[in-house]
Amino acid sequence: MIDFELSADMKGMRDMINQVAEQTMRPISRQFDEEEHTEPSDWQKMMWDVSKGSSVFGGGPTDKKERSGNGKPSERNVGATVTIEELSWGDAGLYLSIPNAGLGGAAVAAAGTTEQKKRFLQRFSEGDPKWAAMAITEPGFGSDSAAVATTAVRDGDQWVLNGTKIFCTSGHRALEKSEGFVVVWATVDKSAGRAGIKAFVVDHGTPGVTVTKVEDKLGIRCSDTAAIVLEDARIPLDNLLGDAEVHADPADASKGFKGAMATFDATRPAVAASALGIGRAAVDFVRTALKEAGVEIHYDRPPMKQTALERDFIAMEAHLQAARLLTWRAAWMMDRGMKNNLEASMCKSKAGLAVTQVTQKAVEILGPLGYSRKILLEKWLRDAKINDIFEGTQQINLLIVARRILGYSSKELN
């Protein structure tokens, strides 16, 4: 049975992180939105010192139930969603700029062996600030992973990678600002379609790997979004993520791809949690503004006796709460080693839609003030939309939900 009541420890952690968000993120939020490619170095160093080695920023699915010190099921992934919501309430772009294993670490956690997890993730508990990233999207495709054109060809005891990746979150920081890595999705057999795609760890300093562009963006502007070109980039054989079975025959269409895709089962709840933080920031601001204007929300009245504004505001809160419960459920299942690909797509699609609707309505309610740069509300509207796009668009996630519920394969329902 799922208990949606957070533990006392979890509530204490949430309150502490909210203070960090309010006191250290909100004051610099506007500055680093306007100075898009300026590094918030002092803030990053502070966050690295307090969070390095934390699984909150590099967690992922497990193949068995995790146990906490008291023998109860772990709250690691639920705790991650709570943490990410609070940090994104402070500023989503700054949250995405925190030095950590990020998407790349989630890919290693999902598809890597015990040895690979130790080798690649250990560095995130020591030394200077580091980032990891994941590179999937290419100039020729967005959501259709079967269209991956980046190739991986075996040459003796190495893999040789060639291709171009775009919209890679933290790609520049991972490869050029730290001793990090990027998990690159490439095909070992184009004729096999999706099943030929594997995940490879490309380390910083690898010859033939170049960051060619850092994007200018609508929102989450403090976050670095890079384009990466691989030209005869050589990596060790054991940088192919997966167990001995995958390495024995990487061209086998049944090996590797499912492990790589499991990354999204871990990262989609994280994206949903970030959406929740942005949406809650907007709702909190509107609530305060209405209270200061003497407008009361009558929750106990039937809809026919409420004003249009009251109904809109209550709907905003309801959308976020529904998305939050779906997100906690997906994370709760991960903490128990349960398959959650349906729930991960459900929470991500709901949260992405909710945050875009909520922030738009918040700007509408506040009128000219909401559209003004005097306050952060217009920024939250800009930050919101990415949550409906990356880690699988709204349409792709709804398609996955439909397939899982109806029992169709990707070939039967596309």
| 391 is an active site residue | yes
Amino acid at 299: Y
- The Cα 184–Cα 151 span in angstroms is 10
User: Taking a C-beta distance cutoff of 8 angstroms, is the pair 360, 385 a contact?
Assistant: no
SS3 32: helix
Q: Nearest to residue 17, comparing CAs of 74, 90, 92?
A: 90
- The Cα 330–Cα 277 span in angstroms is 17
Cα angle at 368 between 283 and 279, to 5 degrees?
Answer: 20
Q: Nearest to residue 162, comparing CAs of 231, 209, 234?
A: 231
DSSP for 177-199, please give it: SSS-EEEEEEES-GGGGGGGEEE
User: Taking a C-beta distance cutoff of 8 angstroms, is the pair 378, 370 a contact?
Assistant: yes
Cα angle at 34 between 48 and 87, to 5 degrees?
Answer: 35
Q: In this structure, what token pair is assigned to residue 112?
A: 């890597």
Residue at token pair 């184009």: 190
Q: Nearest to residue 138, comparing CAs of 186, 103, 104?
A: 186
User: Is residue 177 packed enough to be buried (19+ CB in 10 Å), middle (13-18) or exposed (0-12)?
Assistant: buried
- Rounded to a whole number of angstroms, the CA Rg of the chain reads 21
**Strand-pair category, 158-169 with 151-155:** antiparallel
The active-site residue, picked from 5, 115, 391, 412, is 391
Residues designated catalytic: 391
